[in-house]
Amino acid sequence: MLDQVTKVHDEQRQGEAFSSGEQESLLYSKKFYIESYGCAMNFNDSEIVASILNGEGFGATKEVEEASVILVNTCSIREKAEQTIRKRLTEFRKLKRSNPGMLVGVLGCMAERLKSKLLEEEKLVDLVIGPDAYRTLPALIAEAGTGQKSVNVMLSREETYGDISPVRLNSNGVTAFVSIMRGCNNMCTFCVVPFTRGRERSRDAYSIIREATDLFENGYREVTLLGQNVDSYYWTGKEEGSTGAEETVTFAQLLERVAQISPLLRVRFSTSHPKDITDEVLFTMAKYENICNYIHLPVQSGSTRILQLMNRTYTREWYMKRVDRIKEILPDCGLSTDIITGFCTETEEDHQDTLAIMRYAHYDLAYMYYYSERPGTLAARRYQDDIPEDVKKRRLAEVVELHRQQAQRSMQLDLGKTFKVLVEGTSKRSEADVFGRNDQNKVIIFPRDNHQKGDYVWVKVESCTSATLIGKVVMPEYAE
């Protein structure tokens, strides 16, 4: 599923196990198994963890039974996500009974939210490590190995893991995530992320360029720059060893620098907050053919009153104006969103406003949820979770149905069009076909012929399903 979306939540990718492959695992005497949940940033963190552990002589394995350490990189965004993970931890605890030397560690957002509760009350695990404490993981594993319960959930204002090269696990060798910042300062009232990930901080621009350049030199052809709110990226500093003055890099400038690495390297980014996406970013996207015309712009609700309660800091009209501007500057830009139904006090009228804004924006893709109260968030403290579950779910079903119709229409509008596609791998449906994505992030399947992963080809769309375009190569475009 990683092939199909760049932005991924727990519903899309649950419990994917990472492995760095058979060969590499032979190099290491100790083995760890890691399973990841949640957003792309969490998956990227697992790659950082793998890099830290490799440095300490641990190799990744896909076989949970052969691991001496099991790590679960967790998500707290909705209650359902946490329930799924708890069930999984119970399974690992059973496994531990037959293998008492095995250690089970919880990483990520649930670790940060629940802290030592996971060790004490629930006795599910041996190690608890928050998202800013991964450098201490080897020491904590050693400590836990002596029978002590180990916890480090310190959040940091500086940690970006900027100097660590993630080990690309389970990678297709063509597309990769690059984290450009951590944390979030926005305090949307429904959201647990500011509590689990801490304050926002931007990663050294030079380390980002270095990582993206290395990826390109190793055959990768697409990077997705990741952050909870990429448009507020803002880095001040200077290149290591430089004696010159400090410089400041904004998101638009970073985007430009990454795009300049090579016209053959596609650049994507996620997530944009509607209050922060600037015209400068849109103009930079227009200027570089290799910055994909695709924006994930979560609206959450179409009602200004609800947006205020959510502390999103924009109104319905502001959002619509941003959509207008995107379509003005980037007429063929793909647009996707996140929507929450049944937030505190939401009326039928508010809900109708959400449906109306969907009709206005014509989203190509949407991630839709019903509101799940998260302990400790501003909404949990200030408001009553007063919309009955059946109403939340009914409204969600209406939002999903409207989106289904809109997405289908968006696919049909592409029939007969020709797109530049980056080949990513073999189609799941047939060995005779390959798949890739167009600029707008839509998956296109077409006959394999001689096309290799990493090639750019021009594909004419002949038919479609609800989620996939199907076509034929009309012009191969060679890299050299």
* 3-state percent breakdown (helix, strand, coil) of the chain, nearest 5: 35, 25, 40
Confirm or deny that 184 is annotated as ligand binding: yes
- By beta carbon distance, the residue nearest ligand F3S is 38
C-alpha dist (Å) from residue 275 to 82, 125, 167, 465: 29, 40, 34, 34
| Identity of the residue numbered 275 | K
How far apart are the C-alpha atoms of 23 and 135, rounded to whole Å? 25
3-state secondary structure 29-86: CEEEEEEECCCHHHHHHHHHHHHHHHCCCEEECCCHHHCCEEEEEECCCCHHHHHHHH
Write down the least CB distance from residue 309 to ligand SAH, Å.
13
Report the greatest alpha carbon distance in the chain: 64
HSE-CB of 2 using CA atoms within 13 angstroms? 25
- Which backbone phi and psi does 71 adopt, to 5 degrees? -120, 135
> In the set 36, 271, 438, 441, which binds ligand SAH (CB under 6 A)?
271
The one of ligand F3S, ligand SAH, ligand SF4, none whose footprint includes residue 61, by CB under 5 to 8 A per kind, is none
Query: Residue 216, interface with ligand SAH (CB under 6 A)?
Result: no
Interacting span for ligand SAH (CB under 6 A) from 66-74, 186-194, 198-206, 256-264? 186-194
The one of ligand SAH, ligand SF4, ligand F3S, none whose footprint includes residue 253, by CB under 5 to 8 A per kind, is none
Site for ligand SAH in 287-326 (CB under 6 A): 298, 300
| Partners of 420 in beta bridges | 458
Query: Residue 196, interface with ligand SF4 (CB under 6 A)?
Result: no
Interacting span for ligand F3S (CB under 6 A) from 23-31, 72-80, 246-254, 392-400? 72-80
How far apart are the C-alpha atoms of 136 and 129, rounded to whole Å? 8
Nearer to ligand SAH, 150 or 229 (CB): 229
Interacting span for ligand SF4 (CB under 6 A) from 27-35, 180-188, 257-265, 419-427? 180-188
Burial class of residue 129, CB neighbours in 10 A (0-12, 13-18, 19+): buried
Nearer to ligand SAH, 48 or 191 (CB): 191
Q: What is the CA radius of gyration of the chain?
A: 22
Nearer to ligand F3S, 38 or 471 (CB): 38
> In the set 44, 76, 377, 441, which binds ligand F3S (CB under 6 A)?
76
Nearer to ligand SAH, 8 or 209 (CB): 8
- How many other C-beta atoms can be found within 10 angstroms of the C-beta atom of residue 331? 9
Q: What's the DSSP call for residue 247?
A: E
Interacting span for ligand SF4 (CB under 6 A) from 191-199, 241-249, 350-358, 448-456? 191-199
Residue 24 zone, left/alpha/beta (φ > 0; ψ -120 to 50; rest)? alpha
Query: Residue 42, interface with ligand SF4 (CB under 6 A)?
Result: no
Write down the least CB distance from residue 153 to ligand SF4, Å.
19
Residues near ligand F3S (CB under 6 A): 38-39, 41-42, 75-77, 108-109, 192-193, 196-197
Per the annotation, where are the binding residues for [4Fe-4S] cluster? Answer: 39, 75, 109, 184, 188, 191
Instruction: Catalog residues that contact ligand SF4 under the rule CB under 6 A.
Output: 184, 186-188, 191, 193-194, 228-229, 273
